Amino acid sequence: MPAKKRESQRRLSTAPLRDFIHVRDGLARELRAKGELEEARQVAALRKPPIGLWIANQLARLAPADVKALVEASARLRRAQSAGGASGEGLREAMHAQREALARLADAAGRAALEAGTKLTLELQRRVQNTVQAAAVTEPEALGDGSLEKELMPAGFGELLDSPPHASVKEPLPTAKKDDVAAARARKQEQAAAQAREKERARALHAAEEEVRHLEAAAGKLEENAASLVKKAAQAREQADAARRDAKAAAARALALRSPQK
């Protein structure tokens, strides 16, 4: 993609989703004012991107280090296969690094979804992951600066190579595919476990908040009761003091009555 077109795409892709039309029309006006009529026409014809593509393009802004880690892990994965190490330690390490980067990017995708006013459902998360995983191999530069033009699907290990595998790696290739399937299954299990943990965390948080509200209400009632008891105690103390004074006065009168009259 030409640098000028990439910059236009980046500006549109990273703009808030709700402002896409406004930013697109403003960019088209800028290009027309510069005499770049064809570029302006192309920009003006662009439609609002699907939410999955928009979120994928936000990752360059929200988690650039994780995007870079995914690109590097994907490159190591390609090198490990092309070197004939489809079942070796290098491949396993690259696959692990790729899974770790994808997991961290899923968190960033959740934040991007919130910015767009939506939730990162499992289906939306799958679309975003497919796009970034494929782009890390086929369009790493566009992924790195947030200028992807469409949602993508990841290719299999064999399709990731630029040229047919060397004869020495033909035998390990089925193992690599099995590892690919196992990795995909492991990612699904990790995602399911993460979703379950998030649901449990949300449930525990809700229960804790309810308990806090209950205890605060109980504490408020107890404080009210304590204040009422303090007030009643003060009144009782005043009544007791008055009764003692009355008793002393009565005792004095009784003593006077007992004394013989002179």
pLDDT of residue 79: 85
pLDDT greater than 90 at residue 39: no
Tell me if 200 sits within 8 A of 116, measured CB to CB: no
Query: Lowest-pLDDT range, 59-68, 75-84, 115-124, 125-134?
Result: 75-84
pLDDT of residue 261: 61
Q: How confident is the model at residue 51 (pLDDT cuts 50, 70, 90)?
A: very high
Tell me if 43 sits within 8 A of 12, measured CB to CB: yes
Domain map (residue ranges) of the chain: 1-48
pLDDT greater than 60 at residue 232: yes
Average pLDDT over the chain, rounded to an integer: 80
pLDDT greater than 90 at residue 64: yes
Tell me if 55 sits within 8 A of 124, measured CB to CB: yes
pLDDT greater than 60 at residue 59: yes
- Secondary structure string (H, E, C) spanning the chain: CCHHHHHHHHHHHHCCHHHHHHHHHHHHHHHHHCCCHHHHHHHHCCCCCCHHHHHHHHHHHHCHHHHHHHHHHHHHHHHHHHCCCCCCHHHHHHHHHHHHHHHHHHHHHHHHHHHCCCCCCHHHHHHHHHHHHHHHHHCHHHHHHCCCCCCCCCCCHHHHCCCCCCHHHCCCHHHHHHHHHHHHHHHHHHHHHHHHHHHHHHHHHHHHHHHHHHHHHHHHHHHHHHHHHHHHHHHHHHHHHHHHHHHHHHHHHHHHHHCCCC
pLDDT of residue 164: 36
**Model confidence over 137-191: pLDDT tens digits?**
999 999 998 889 899 998 654 344 333 333 333 334 445 455 667 777 777 787 7
**Model confidence over 191-227: pLDDT tens digits?**
788 778 777 767 776 676 667 666 767 766 787 787 7
Rounded Cα distance between 73 and 238, Å, is 82
Query: Lowest-pLDDT range, 61-70, 86-95, 225-234?
Result: 86-95
**Model confidence over 114-125: pLDDT tens digits?**
998 999 999 999
Question: Which amino acid is located at 14 in the chain?
Answer: T
What contacts 164, CB < 8 A, 6 or more positions away?
A: none
